[in-house]
Structure 1
Amino acid sequence: MTGVLERGQTTSEPVAGLLARVLGSTSELRIEAFDGSRTGPEGAPVTLRVRSPRALARLVSAPGSLGLARAYVTEEIDVDGDLYTGLRAMSEVTLHSIPRREQLWLARRLLPYWREHRMPPPELEARPKGLLHSKRRDSQAISHHYDVSNRFYEFVLGESMTYTCAAYPDADASLETAQATKYELVAAKLGLKPGMRLLDVGCGWGGMVRHAAREHGVRALGVTLSKEQAEWAQAEIERQGLADLAEVRHLDYRDVPDGVYDAVSSIGLTEHIGKANVDAYFRAMQAKLRPGGRMLNHCITQPYKPDHRNTDPFIHRYVFPDGELEPVGTLVTAMNEAGFEIRHSENLREHYAMTLRDWGANLERNWTDAVAEVGVGRARVWRLYMAACRLGFELNNIQLHQVLGVKLNEDRSAGFPLRGEHGAY
């Protein structure tokens, strides 16, 4: 079979066969293309449909995960069946991109498509401006991801409005139970007690702030660079009658006054600050604590020393612009050198895979409303992102660590019990 191009151009190999060579052959995946070609078993649970020659032009211009993502977001490629299952079948490409040798092989064969059908990148891609990790640029990057629509996030995150890894007490626990368990785990590690002052940096929609105030009688301040998050969180604090203890401000963590807090929680912020700022970040957090105060840092990490690419190009362009992930050892060293004594660390990567599974199920259940709220392109970005990240955690391509440190008292005591409270450390 010959694949037919517009304006009479031809390529010697069918489109489905070209892609099958790169994506691999598996019983779980069938490929069907606009030129009538197809590969893979008819009974495969997932069918990848290449609907337009523009999809192939995108693969030439951005080989690997970014090209595939661009084609999926623009509906030039579609997936019949479960997207997560399809990505798992293509995991070598979706997680590690196409090897250079295969990139060159594919580019040569798809060059006619690129010449005929090349398109600019979708408008949904982030283009933050200014000095990397300056306050202005960080604000742009956070706004791109979080100031989408609070209503959309309600569809995806559920009642807790919590956009960080949950902690499942058992395999059958609900997402809401797991998020409450995560907040209680953080509270136990920090040793929260009535009357304490908690600073929650990168607080999102204020879940940890509300939990600390409601369950532990703590005076809690949360700060976030997302204006929409801050407005939603403060309204929810007032709705729940917690305004005498809890507050969320639209504020950069660098602008929070020093030296007044008993505990600091940082849940999902470190990924956004950049490697060059990690040391200064932990010094700033240490300066905000009283002697004997504790800090819990909860963030996505890499299981290996990062190469020149800090994040997957799809994630960088569509989801977390300017995001940078570090190995947990880098973070532990930075905390230690900032004056924290490290008391505990644990990896929750399986829990994040389960969290993403449940977020993805929420999105599918609310798909029609989600598309109506933010458009089909952005909804497809989130569908792809959550399925791909779930796979990344399952295959240990990324991890999630909680690291607990303490600012020692003047006599160098840590104020910790000999064994952990509630099994927390």
Structure 2
Amino acid sequence: MTIAAALEKLMRHGMPFRFEAFDGSTGGDTDSPYTVRLLNERGLRYLMSHPGDLGFARAYVAGDLEIDGIHPGDPYELMRHFRSRLTFKLPPPGELLTVLRSLGLANLIAPTPPPEEHLSRARRAFEGWRHSRQRDAEAIHHHYDVSNRFYELVLGPSMAYTCAVYPELDATLEQAQVEKFDLICRKLDLKPGQRLLDLGCGWGGMVRHAAEHYGVQALGVTLSEQQAMWAQQAIKEQRLDDRAEVRFLDYRDVTERDF
């Protein structure tokens, strides 16, 4: 029995996509706009050890499944489609045994996850402990002091590096970043006169938003000198000098308390 035929016998409603397996077999819905290609045995082990959308997602992330009909970085429409239709069933015992033998009983065992990377004690001592002042400063300098102009081109006017929150589907990135800042402020229940400390504040977007719209005294700290310079200039241009500040400083050196 081929891989495609065996897998179809395990699916309650059949395959909601066109399917191609590494053994050359094909199956599924020939009218579907999606084509799923199972590339290797490791992908099969993901599917068999975690039937349903979890095994499918793991095989996709691991690169053991390819999908035509979607953008490779945005598979969520397909995942939602599968969530309601990709359900498995148990055939009668005799048929189930035939299916499992065809697919390989060993493939019921999930692939071994990659080992977590650990530096040796000697290397940690030589290079510095994780999150030591030196290592943190070097890491931030390497990633963010490549020029503010570069990040202006990448991030846009908000200069916000973290995920945005889109209030509407047609909102701009800038609107979504403002919505993200405001959502955080609402969750913190900020009130005028309170003090806010933003660790690793980047270019100070949260600091400026909280100071301008919620009336707090906001302090941000960053280990990127260029970020701090850009943020202080933006604070000055927005006339928030009396309520907002961004310092080129390790958070462990902040002397103020009672935030």
Q: TM-score, normalised by structure 1?
A: 0.38
Quote how far apart the aligned CAs of 1:213 are. 4.2
Quick one: structure 1 residues 200 and 25, their matched pair in 2 at CA, closer, same or farther if it must change by over 3 Å?
A: farther
- The reply to whether residue 110 of structure 1 matches residue 104 of structure 2 is yes
State how 1:290-369 maps to structure 2 within 5 Å.
Answer: none
Deviation at 1:121, TM superposition (A): 3.3
Deviation of 1:48 after TM superposition, in Å, equals 1.3
Structure 1 residues 78, 167: closer, same or farther in 2, change over 3 A? closer
Structure 2 unaligned blocks of 5 or more: 120-128
Alignment partner of 1:91 is 2:89:
no
How far apart are residue 205 of structure 1 and its match? 6.3
Give the Å deviation of 1:232.
Answer: 7.1
Residue 80 (structure 1) shift: 1.0
> Is the contact between residue 202 and residue 223 of structure 1 (CA under 8 Å) also seen in structure 2?
yes
Once the 2 structures are TM-superposed, how far is the Cα of residue 50 of structure 1 from its aligned partner? 0.6
Distance in 2 (CA, whole Å) between partners of 1:137 and 1:64 is 38
Q: Distance in 1 between matches of 2:46 and 2:177?
A: 38
Deviation at 1:157, TM superposition (A): 6.8
Distance in 2 (CA, whole Å) between partners of 1:21 and 1:157 is 48
The one-letter code sitting in structure 1 at the alignment partner of 2:104 is: L
* Partner of residue 191, structure 1: 191
Task: State the one-letter code of the partner of 1:191.
Answer: K
Give the Cα–Cα distance (whole angstroms) in 1 for the partners of residues 84 and 2 of structure 2.
Answer: 22
Quote the Cα distance in structure 2 between the aligned partners of 1:202 and 1:46: 42
Letter of the 2:67 partner, please give it: V
Secondary structure of the corresponding residue to residue 44 of structure 1: coil
CA drift of 1:177 comes to 0.7
Task: Name stretches of at least 5 consecutive residues in structure 1 with no aligned partner.
Answer: 1-12, 130-135, 262-425
RMSD, aligned CA: 5.2
Whole-Å separation in 2 of the counterparts to 1:22 and 1:149: 48
1:154, distance to aligned residue in structure 2 (A): 8.9
Aligned counterpart, 1:405: none
SS across alignment from 2:24: coil
- State the partner residue of 1:333: none
The residue that corresponds to 1:324 in the other structure is none
Partner of 1:260: 258
- The match for 1:31 is 19
Tell me which residue corresponds to 2:246.
247
Residue identity opposite 1:163 in structure 2: T
Percent identity of equivalent pairs: 36
- Is the aligned partner of 1:79 residue 2:67? yes
Distance change >3 Å, CA 158–CA 111, structure 1 → 2 = farther
Q: Say whether residues 1:44 and 2:43 are aligned partners.
A: no
Q: Secondary structure at the match of 1:198?
A: strand
The two structures have a TM-score, normalised by structure 2, of 0.56
The structure whose residues are more often strand, as a share, is 1
Query: Which secondary structure state, in structure 2, belongs to the residue aligned with residue 234 of structure 1?
Result: helix
AA partner of residue 199 (structure 1): L
Classify 1:222/1:34 alpha carbon distance in 2 versus 1 (closer, same or farther; 3 Å).
Answer: same
Deviation at 1:202, TM superposition (A): 7.2
Matches within 5 A, 1:129-278: 160=158, 161-164=160-163, 166=165, 168=167, 170-184=168-182, 186-187=184-185, 189-192=189-192, 197-200=195-198, 206-213=204-211, 218-222=216-220, 233-234=227-228, 236-238=230-232, 240-241=234-235, 245-247=244-246, 251=251, 259-261=257-259
How many angstroms apart in 2 are the aligned matches of 1:206 and 1:107?
57
Instruction: Give the letter aligned to residue 240 of structure 1.
Output: A
* Corresponding position of 2:126: none
Rounded to whole Å, the distance in 1 between the matches of 2:221 and 2:85 is 38
Asked whether the equivalents of residues 19 and 28 of structure 2 are also in contact (C-alpha less than 8 Å), the reply is yes
| 1:65–1:93 CA contact under 8 A, matched in 2 | no
* CA distance in structure 2 between the aligned counterparts of 1:67 and 1:92, rounded to whole angstroms: 15
2:11 and 2:89 in contact (8 A); partners too: no
Q: What is the DSSP-based 3-state SS (H/G/I as helix, E as strand, rest coil) of the residue aligned with 1:86?
A: helix
Q: Secondary structure at the match of 2:113?
A: coil
How many angstroms apart in 2 are the aligned matches of 1:205 and 1:40? Answer: 50
SS of the equivalent of 1:190 reads: coil
User: Is the 8 Å Cα contact of residues 187 and 212 (structure 1) preserved in structure 2?
Assistant: yes
1:109-166 deviation per Cα after TM superposition (whole angstroms, max 9, x unaligned): 4335579xx96535xx75689xxxxxx9999xxx9xx989679x99997654253452
Q: Is the 8 A contact 1:30 1:47 kept in 2?
A: yes
Letter in 2 for 1:51: L
Change in Cα spacing, 1:57 to 1:164, as seen in structure 2 (3 Å) is same
Partner-residue secondary structure (3-state), 1:31: strand
Count residues in correspondence: 220
